[in-house]
Amino acid sequence: MTTIAVLGSTNMDLVAYVERAPERGETVTGRAFVSAPGGKGANQAVAAARAGGRVAMIGAVGDDSVGIRLRAALDDAGVATGALREVAGASGTAHIVVDDAGSNAIVVIPGANNTLTALAPGDEHLISGADTLLLQLEVPLSAVRAAAEAARRHGVRTVLTPAPAQTLPPGLLAATDLLVPNAHEAAALTGIADPHEAARTLLDRVPEVVITLGGAGSLYAARGADPLTVAAPHVTPVDTTAAGDTFVGALAVALGEGRPMEPALRWASVAAALSVRHAGASTSMPHRAEIDEAAGGARRRAVG
């Protein structure tokens, strides 16, 4: 079983479902509201655990009822939470609007996540024992860079999701093995709208890139190799909130198990496609048996 460490955010997602998102200055009436545990770090941790990885979470929650619920959700998913700190104050929240097409708009209020500015005693040891370290950008860059550099010292593969998109320090990129932006984030990092051109530019900074393209699948590029495009299974989306995090978590498991990149991408794409069929972030993420069954069906249809 592959071992994965995750350093990142834990948030409570507060989700409003609407026919269409409001324009600036406009009020619309929603049809439903739910609250569910989320945050890009916690989402990737849950996705990897459900996909079959042994996962540990490094992060922070507040000393409020939300923090209790966030920790319990990770525990229930089988994620180790010994390195999940409790700090005074409010836990992080994400305020999400999901329209009837499954698209979303999100406002994140970091709360306790902003206290994660450095590694705590024991964090580097936890990272050193992992096969893969997953990172995102919903916690302070200082901690993200420290974790990436710790992983580099111990030969641990580092996978960085550059979201929310922002300028990345060279030291962080130098310690990143695989960068996984979506098309918007790739464009923000490079100033180039075309994903293929953006991927080529990003290879000047990191050795491998996967750009997720939503329903169009994913694009893989590596130094010294031809680019690879993998289609996504066709599904009717209900909520795309955590599709990218599901993809990354499943991809980390597949790569940690030694799968070549193309089948790993296909398996991760199946996991992401399964996740968008249901509402919620971590609550929508598929388990390993579901991914394997759906991936087997997709292979049979392709052969037939």
Tokens 């190799």 sit at which residue?
A: 225
The token pair at 20 is: 């269409």
Residue found by looking up tokens 């997720």 in the block: 212
Annotated binding site for K(+): 239, 241, 275, 278, 280, 284
CATH code, domain carrying 198? 3.40.1190.20
Task: Tell whether 206 is covered by a domain.
Answer: yes
**Has residue 280 got a pLDDT over 70?**
no
Write out the binding residues for ATP: 182, 212-217, 244-245
Per-range mean pLDDT, top range of 94-98, 152-156, 162-166, 275-279: 152-156
Annotated binding residues, as ranges? 11-13, 39-43, 138, 182, 212-217, 239, 241, 244-245, 275, 278, 280, 284
120 in a structural domain: yes
Q: Given 177, 226, 245, 292, which residue is catalytic?
A: 245
What is the average pLDDT across 148-157? 98
189 in Cβ contact with 181 (< 8 Å): yes
**Helix ranges, 15-137 (H):** 40-50, 65-76, 123-128
Is residue 26 domain-resident?
Answer: no
Distance CA 281, CA 94 (A): 11
Q: Indicate the range of 52-61, 95-104, 215-224, 260-269 predicted with least confidence.
A: 95-104
Residue 303 pLDDT exceeds 50: no
Q: How many CB atoms lie within 10 A of CB 170?
A: 8
pTM of the predicted protein model:
0.92
Mean local confidence (pLDDT), 288-298: 87
Q: What is the pLDDT of residue 283?
A: 64
Q: What is the pLDDT of residue 304?
A: 44
| pLDDT value at residue 215 | 85
Task: Lowest mean pLDDT of 53-57, 86-90, 97-101, 258-262, name the range.
Answer: 97-101
Domain membership of residue 304 (yes or no) is no
**Element at 87 (helix H, strand E):** strand 80-87
The tally of domains found in the chain comes to 1
Nearest alpha-carbon partner for 181 in 205, 203, 154, 160? 160
The answer to whether residue 121 is domain-embedded is yes
Residue 17 in any domain: the answer is yes
Q: How far apart are CA 215 and CA 235, in angstroms?
A: 8
Helical H segments across the chain, by residue range = 40-50, 65-76, 123-128, 141-153, 170-174, 183-190, 195-202, 243-256, 261-275, 288-303
Least confidently predicted of 1-5, 130-134, 165-169, 217-221: 165-169
**Average pLDDT, integer, range 105-116:** 94
Percent of the chain with pLDDT over 70: 95
Average pLDDT, the chain: 93
**Residue 284, domain extent:** 3-21+32-298
Please report which confidence band the pLDDT of residue 282 belongs to, taking 50, 70 and 90 as the band edges.
Answer: low
Predicted pLDDT of residue 236: 76
Q: Which residue has the tokens 């998102």?
A: 21
pLDDT for the residue 139? 97
- Mean pLDDT within 29-47: 94
Inside any domain, residue 81? yes
- Is there a domain that residue 303 lies in? no
> Is 1 a residue whose pLDDT tops 70?
yes
Confidence band (pLDDT; 50, 70, 90) for 297?
A: low
For residues 32 and 37, what is the distance between their CA atoms, to the nearest angstrom?
17
- The answer, yes or no, to whether residue 191 has pLDDT greater than 80, is yes
For the cut 70, the answer to whether the pLDDT of residue 27 exceeds it is yes
Q: Is the pLDDT of residue 95 over 60?
A: yes
Note the Cα 205 to chain centre separation in Å: 21
Residues making up the annotated binding site for substrate are: 11-13, 39-43, 138, 245
The answer to whether residue 245 is catalytic is yes
